[in-house]
Chain A
């Protein structure tokens, strides 16, 4: 995942873009989650993700000589390094929980590796992020257990996991993916699906649509305008 040949800013942007796009997707549930208590909880998760994105962009921005908002908003859609999994628009609860679980488990593996990074700044930020992500993982597992406690919940969850599986495989690279697979296998009440990874670097049309909407207000004023 990271090595001397990989620019640090590239790694940071990959993480940041994942968190920004997922946070954006998760914030779409604000006001329309299945019940009010969950609405409030899920909104905090979305806010945390955007907060993580911001912190990661700030680290990258310091290196690249720009600002976090410019990295978040002012690149062309093709320049984002987000995983296809987070880009999908799925305002349906089984898919949301499936993605939440699959992503948070993958992110957990990734962050865990980064906590041991020789890069002090990255290791420090990874530790901070992980302290919030613990709650995300708890939340995802809580929902997984609850849904898998009923026949209807299990079949819906299974359908969702199967649909998202190729995209989920594309979040991590070959080095970290096996650890993630073991975590997932341990929690799912059904066998792991089959599929080939949909890897990073391929963006769906959904990302461009998201980007158009996300940047619509920002683009209505000249670059550098105050908001």
Chain B
């Protein structure tokens, strides 16, 4: 069985995918993960997951221009300029 390994380099860091290996059973997987991604104490923690348990999602539908919930949906420059002119102020 193939296992995927995610490693955390330091506390507070995200777990990142680091590689994969073959192992006949979960106990072996733990041993091998330790060796491959921890024998130099280069990780503070590892997650090991059978490959079958990983689901990949890589298709996302975004057809109708849904900018209302993203930063690029808001352009305030023009309105700010007009508002400052009306108030007789300058930009802070």
List residues of A whose CB falls within 8 A of some B CB.
35, 37-38, 40-41, 44, 135, 138-139, 142, 145-146
Distance to closest chain B CB from A95 (angstroms): 20
Which one, B23, B25, B27, contacts A37 given CB within 8 A?
A: B23
> What residues of chain B lie closer than 8 Å to A41, measured between beta carbons?
31-32, 35
B24 near A: Cβ within 8 Å?
Answer: yes
**Docked-complex contact B22 and A37, CB < 8 angstroms:** yes
Chain B contributes a number of interface residues (CB within 8 A of A) equal to 13
Contacts of B25 in A (CB 8 A): 146
In contact, A44 and B22 (Cβ under 8 angstroms): no
Q: Contact: A40 with B36, CB < 8 Å?
A: yes
- A157 CA to B39 CA, complexed, in Å: 29
Closest-by-CB residue of A relative to B29 is A37
8 Å CB interface, B1-46 against A: 21-25, 27-28, 31-32, 34-36, 39
Interchain CB contact (< 8 A) of B22 among A35, A142, A146: A35
* Chain A residue at smallest Cβ distance from B39: A44
A139 to B23, CA, bound (A): 13
Q: How long is the Cα–Cα vector from A41 to B33 in the complex, in angstroms? A: 9
Give B81 Cβ to nearest chain A Cβ, in Å.
64
What is the CA–CA distance of A40 and B38 in the complex, to the nearest angstrom? Answer: 12
- Bound form: Cα–Cα A170–B38 in Å: 35
Among B24, B28, B32, which residue has its beta carbon within 8 angstroms of that of A40?
A: B32
For residue A145, which residues in chain B have a CB less than 8 angstroms away from its CB?
A: 27
A142 touches B32 (CB 8 A): no
| CB-defined A-B contacts under 8 Å, sample of 9 | A35-B22, A37-B32, A37-B36, A38-B32, A40-B36, A41-B32, A135-B31, A142-B28, A146-B24
